Amino acid sequence: MSYKLLFIVMSFFVSVHLSVADTRSSASSSSSTNGTDQAAVSKYIKGSYLLIFKEPASGEQAFVKAHSKEEIAQLLQTNGQIVAVFEAINTIHMLIDAEEAARLRLDPRVLMVEQDGITTLATMPTVQGSNASQFPRYKDGILTIPRVDTDIHPGHYQDARLSFTGQGTQGTWTLLDYKTLGENVPLVYLESVDMVKTDIVPVQVFLVAKGQLPNECFDIGQINQRLDGNHFTVIATVVFAAPQGSFCTQALASFEKVMPLDVYGLKAGTYSYEIKGSIGNITGVFELEEDNILPTTTNTAQ
């Protein structure tokens, strides 16, 4: 995992890619695809640090997966308290002082040590969680199209806004702005996906996804799916869901999300699925033993 990608995974893979190191040199530093979103670490948490370890060599386990909390503390020769272990991103959250943090930065197994802090996202818009409506809507002269599919991805473009100039059927539509999947619409960070299939015909199929959000101020955004042949592609995104001006810690927040697949009306057969995540995809298969429609009932006259 690259240095830049690791920062994105930890807590900044939102439309603003905030680096804690950058905020130390400039209290008002910001980065955004449109130049309007601003973020800043308004308060550092004394004695709270994130230790991110280097990628393992080929064929080897990640450092935090290969060892227990006690073993990690012993190998690092530290008396600090390990508060949490994030195996999927090879990171631990520790309570240590600044001197110990400086010492651990010199450990050859450690990629970086960053002080925890509270981030204020003052101008980032609050986005209502997810697929409240994927129908286009027109209000105050603006047409908003929540989802635009491409051959690449379902929902590749999101929240496209257009304005109309003219009268009646004569006029011009002007594209104001839009969001692009993977650029200013981040994908969710996945750890595992379980498939659940009901027994009653017509069956229902659910994907139960678990993973991490950047912090408690974020939520799952749009969940889009597409069926090509017998293969489902599912893409879940992340949105900032807290009120503007909220204080957000840099600690990751676990989530569990149930994602129903659109399987009604499908023919009997084997189907595959792929959920695309920010740093990897998870795949699986399921079987429909018979055509997935309502059973036909015939009333016989007595």
Tens-place pLDDT, residues 226-238: 999 999 999 999 8
Are both 20 and 59 inside the same structural domain? yes
Are both 96 and 18 inside the same structural domain? yes
Bridge partners, 24 (sequence order): none
Please give the Cα distance from 76 to 85 (Å, whole number). 14
Among residues 76, 92, 120, which one ends one of the domains? 120
Query: What is the mean predicted confidence (pLDDT) over 262-268?
Result: 95
Please give the Cα distance from 105 to 111 (Å, whole number). 8
Are both 273 and 199 inside the same structural domain? yes
For the chain, give the mean pLDDT. Answer: 78
pLDDT at 243 over 60: yes
Tokens matching residue 24: 């130390």
Are both 151 and 173 inside the same structural domain? yes
Residue 31 sits at φ, ψ, to 5 deg, of -150, 135
Are both 163 and 220 inside the same structural domain? no
In a domain, 79, yes or no: yes
Are both 204 and 225 inside the same structural domain? yes
44-62 residue pLDDT tens: 678 888 888 988 887 888 8
pLDDT at 128 over 50: no
Among residues 120, 153, 172, which one ends one of the domains? 120
Among residues 91, 120, 149, which one ends one of the domains? 120
In a domain, 218, yes or no: yes
Are both 198 and 276 inside the same structural domain? yes
* Sign of the alpha-carbon dihedral angle for 167, 173, 175, 180: positive
- In sequence order, what E strands does 107-150 have? 110-120, 137-139, 142-148
Domain extent, residue 273, equals 189-288
Q: How confident is the model at residue 117 (pLDDT cuts 50, 70, 90)?
A: low
197-233 residue pLDDT tens: 998 889 999 999 999 888 888 899 899 999 999 999 9
**Percentage of residues in the chain having pLDDT higher than 90:** 36
pLDDT at 159 over 60: yes
Q: Which of 2-16, 100-114, 243-257 has the highest mean pLDDT?
A: 100-114
Return the pLDDT at 271: 98
Please give the Cα distance from 10 to 92 (Å, whole number). 11
pLDDT at 7 over 70: no
* Sign of the alpha-carbon dihedral angle for 165, 167, 173, 176: positive
Order of strands across the sheet with 281-288?
A: 218-228, 231-240, 269-276, 281-288
Secondary element (H or E) of residue 298: none
Does the pTM exceed 0.75? no
Other Cβ atoms less than 10 A from the Cβ of 140: the count is 5
Tokens matching residue 207: 């994907």
In a domain, 300, yes or no: no
Return the pLDDT at 43: 56
Are both 109 and 45 inside the same structural domain? yes
In a domain, 62, yes or no: yes
**Percentage of residues in the chain having pLDDT higher than 70:** 77
In a domain, 31, yes or no: yes
Are both 226 and 275 inside the same structural domain? yes
Are both 257 and 165 inside the same structural domain? no
Return the pLDDT at 201: 86
Residues 6+ positions from 106 with CB-CB distance below 8 Å: none
Q: How confident is the model at residue 291 (pLDDT cuts 50, 70, 90)?
A: very high
In a domain, 130, yes or no: no
Are both 196 and 251 inside the same structural domain? yes
Coil, helix or strand at residue 268? coil
In a domain, 132, yes or no: no
Residues in the chain, overall count: 302
CATH number of 16's domain = 3.30.70.80
Give the count of domains, the chain: 3
Return the pLDDT at 67: 92
Return the pLDDT at 226: 94
In a domain, 221, yes or no: yes
Are both 156 and 247 inside the same structural domain? no
By the 8 A CB rule, do 226 and 149 touch? yes
Q: Which amino acid is located at 178 in the chain?
A: Y
